Amino acid sequence: MKHVKLSEEASEKLLKKYNIDKKQLPVIFNKDLALTGMDAKSGEVIEITRESPTAKNAKYYRVVVNA
């Protein structure tokens, strides 16, 4: 799995594309080991890319919250 912090512009584009707001995204805690070294702050959006047997790569999005 690959975790990438989205820029504010990319986050806004994503939310607009799906007509949602950050409150509707699943959460990931800022102390999650997958975010180590990323300096992710509360409210930022993380893109998670996972290998999928059917779609090759599947993307998931999470909003960072304080643990």
Average pLDDT over the chain reads 95
pLDDT confidence of residue 23: 95
Q: What is the pLDDT of residue 26?
A: 97
Confidence of residue 55 (pLDDT cuts 50, 70, 90): confident
Beta bridge partners of 27: 63
Contact 31, 45 (CB under 8 A): no
Q: Which fold has domain 2-65?
A: Eukaryotic RPB6 RNA polymerase subunit (3.90.940)
Give me the residues paired with residue 55 across strands: none
The average pLDDT across 21-27 equals 96
Residue 33 has pLDDT above 90, yes or no: yes
Which backbone phi and psi does 63 adopt, to 5 degrees?
Answer: -100, 140
> What would the mean pLDDT of 44-61 be, rounded to a whole number?
92
pTM: 0.91
Instruction: Give exposure, 26-43, as e/b (b: 16+ Cβ within 10 Å).
Output: eebebebeebeeeebeee
